[in-house]
Structure 1
Amino acid sequence: MPKPAILCVDDETVILNSLKIQLKKEFGNAYLYEVAESADEALEIIEELKQDQTDILVIVSDWLMPGIKGDEFLIKVHEKYPNIIKVMLTGQADESAIQRVKEQANLYACLHKPWDNQVLVNTIKNGLEKP
């Protein structure tokens, strides 16, 4: 059985690298760490992981990305995979987008950039522990 995955989605490579390093440092080899630079790429990765029977436990997504914005992406994911824990990490989301994703995608948390490393880690840990 493959390890469960955490997927990070952001159009800025430096943020993806930072997230991946931070998560690996905290959780070690407990999870697969996948990254995508767009919602479209993330949707492809989700399908590939599901074909490999890999559970995706958490998605951390930016809001402002080219193409599909983070709120639309998380709502799409929720429609197909409602049990994935969804965290939005943003510097620019408007309140209506945040509210929409809370209502339509069961958003677990919204953190603002620049984020506090410990707050992000605790948010993910708490999300993973919820029943």
Structure 2
Amino acid sequence: MNEMAIVCVDDELSILKSLEIELLETFEDRYIYEFAETADEALEIIDELEAEGTKIFIIVSDWLMPGIKGDEFLIRVHSKYPQIIKVLLTGQADKKSLEKVIKEANVYRCLTKPWNHEELVSTIENAQINTN
């Protein structure tokens, strides 16, 4: 059985830590969890996981990050790995950027910060159902 991974990307370490705590408390060891503070770091992690045969089924990414913003990052991921489900987690994306990333990266869902725990969990659970 291939292991499945969740990749979270946010330039704020406190956000990543909060996501880590919530994911581990909810899903325990059901998934592999990877966390990146930049889109470049996340792209490296994704390539490494894919190369070793770990299936990334969902990416949760911030929008406003230094360097590569979340929309551009998710579009890049989609062009290389279209099967990965992509979720945008943001409180600052403008309508035009949201429309672009939803269309060009096939974004599954946009969650706003601060996120609701139940909404995050149901997004991940529903995303997994959609990958099977």
TM-score (norm 1): 0.97
* Cα shift readout 1:9-41 (whole Å, capped 9, x = no counterpart): 000001001101101111111100000000000
Amino acid in the other structure paired with 2:102: K
Which residue of structure 2 lines up, in the alignment, with residue 36 of structure 1? 36
Aligned length: 131
- Corresponding residue for 1:70? 70
Which residue in the other structure is 2:83 paired with? 83
Cα separation, 2, equivalents of 1:30 and 1:130: 17
1:56 corresponding residue in structure 2: 56
Runs of 4+ in structure 1 deviating by more than 2 angstroms, as ranges, are: none
How high is the sequence identity, in percent, across the aligned residues? 60
TM-align CA RMSD: 1.0
Return the TM-score normalized by structure 2. 0.96
List gaps (5 residues or longer) in structure 2.
Answer: none
Q: Distance in 1 between matches of 2:69 and 2:116?
A: 23
Structure 1 distance, partners of 2:115, 2:45, is 25
Q: Which runs of 5+ in 1 are unaligned?
A: none
**One-letter code aligned to 1:14:** S
